Amino acid sequence: MTYTPPKKWTWDAESGGKFASINRPIAGPTHDKELSVGKHPLQLYSLATPNGVKVTVMLEELLAAGHTGAEYDAWLINIQEGDQFSSGFVDVNPNSKIPALLDTTTGTRVFESGAILLYLAEKFGAFLPTDPAGRTEALNWLFWLQGSAPYLGGGFGHFYAYAPEKFEYPINRFAMEAKRHLDVLERNLSERRYLAGDDYTIADIATVPWYGALVKGLVYDAAEFLDVARYENVNRWTDDVMARPAYKRGKIVNRAWGEPQEQLHERHDSSDFETKTQDKIAQDS
CB neighbours of residue 214 within 10 Å: 27
Domain assignment present for 74: no
Domain assignment present for 84: no
For the residues 199-209, what does the mean pLDDT come to? Answer: 98
Contacts (Cβ under 8 Å, ≥6 apart) of 278: 260, 261, 263, 264, 265
The answer to whether 157 and 193 have CB atoms below 8 angstroms apart is no
N-terminal to C-terminal alpha carbon distance within the chain: 53
Q: What is the pLDDT of residues 164-180, one digit of tens each?
A: 999 999 999 999 999 99
User: Domain holding 167: CATH number?
Assistant: 1.20.1050.10
The pLDDT assigned to 12 comes to 83
Domain assignment present for 157: yes
Burial degree of 255 (CB within 10 A; 0-12, 13-18, 19+): buried
Domain assignment present for 69: no
Domain assignment present for 115: no
Domain assignment present for 219: yes
Contacts (Cβ under 8 Å, ≥6 apart) of 113: 51, 52, 54, 55, 99, 146, 206
Domain assignment present for 36: no
Q: What is the pTM of this model?
A: 0.96
The answer to whether 66 and 246 have CB atoms below 8 angstroms apart is no
CB neighbours of residue 167 within 10 Å: 11
What is the C-alpha R_g of the chain?
19
The pLDDT assigned to 22 comes to 79
Range of the structural domain that residue 143 is part of: 132-244
Q: What is the pLDDT of residues 110-142, one digit of tens each?
A: 999 999 999 999 999 999 999 999 999 999 999
Q: What is the pLDDT of residues 186-198, one digit of tens each?
A: 999 999 999 999 9
Domain assignment present for 125: no
The number of distinct structural domains making up the chain is 1
